[in-house]
Amino acid sequence: MREIKLVLATVKWDEEHLQQLRNAFKPAEVICVDSKDHATIESLLQKIDVAVLASDLDERFLKAPNLKWVHCDHAGLDKSAKREVFEKNLIVTSSAGRSAPALAEHALFFMLALTYRFVDFYNAQRAHQWGIEGQNNLRGLCGKTLGIIGLGNTGTELAKRAKAMDMKVLAYRRRNINCDGIVDKLYSRENNDTIDELLMQSDYVVLALPLSDATHHLIGERELKLMKPTAYLINMARGAVVDEKALVNAVLNKEIAGAGLDTFAVEPLPPESPLWDLPNVLITPHVTPQVPDRTGRSLDIIRENIRRYRAGEPMLNQLTIDDVYTKRT
């Protein structure tokens, strides 16, 4: 059994949740420190074997002599996905999945708002105008095809909701799994599939996969040209998964119908970005409404990973060599 003696925690939780964190790690000692208290953190880095961080790990943690496991209390690990992590044999995990239901709803919000031309109807309402041009040609989500690239926590929650709305669901993921009843067709890298067929068949393409060297600019000029001219691209992943210049051209040239974007290569999105003014594009500032007791859901993941760590079992949401990301700008 692997032993845990001293834990550093920089998460900004209320005292009740922090006490639950302390209880979860018992008999280990948990020391809670403000993430800006660099002096105390530097001192503790010489002693700790586990860290629970509010943000990503940095170079200080890679140099910690006894550190074995770092948990980052958010979903994406691309900023922590460095080769040095594996050279040090450091376990890095995340809280991916805690907000999956809300992220799935966010994707559906984009899909519905674009399909129902919400912006046009709202502008008509503000102008006291009854209806908009082309409203009788609108068609809902029922019977349409959703393609999900990244069938993890968020992708699975989205697939369940889409099936409830009588959509056909296609999905792509790295590893092949049994997902009968969740999707109609699964493509996987493990089976040597590509995303091409999914792109060509889908009315909505939702990105819900991690950012890595393999997925950087996964959606570029070639992939956008494969999509239907009536299809929408929804990005709930990371901004750099999409070649934004290619996306701008695809929308302006009407190669796709539009997009819903919650993430961007540079955040905040610069005021001069052409993405702001694209027709049929909805933008949200990398923010999704929280699920009830989001911190409690993080704690559930951490508790299970404490058990797995001590037992020497594979961890939930563990960073793998496939997740390495070196193409930072």
For the annotated catalytic residues, the residue numbers are 238, 267, 286
Q: Which helix (H) or strand (E) holds 52?
A: strand 50-53
For residue 270, what is the DSSP state?
P
For residue 67, what is the DSSP state?
-
Q: CA-CA distances (angstroms) from residue 172 to 2, 58, 93, 298?
A: 36, 31, 23, 26
Cβ distance 98 to 291 under 8 Å?
yes
User: Within 13 A of 236's CA, how many CA atoms are on the CB side?
Assistant: 32
Helix (H, G, I), strand (E, B) or coil at 201: helix
Q: From CA 171, how far away is CA 183, in angstroms rounded?
A: 7
Q: From CA 181, how far away is CA 205, in angstroms rounded?
A: 20
Omega prior to 285 cis, within 30 of 0: no
Q: From CA 255, how far away is CA 247, in angstroms rounded?
A: 9
In the chain, the N- to C-terminal Cα span, in Å, equals 41
For residue 88, what is the DSSP state?
T
Q: Which of 273, 258, 261, 265 is nearest to 228 (CA)?
A: 258
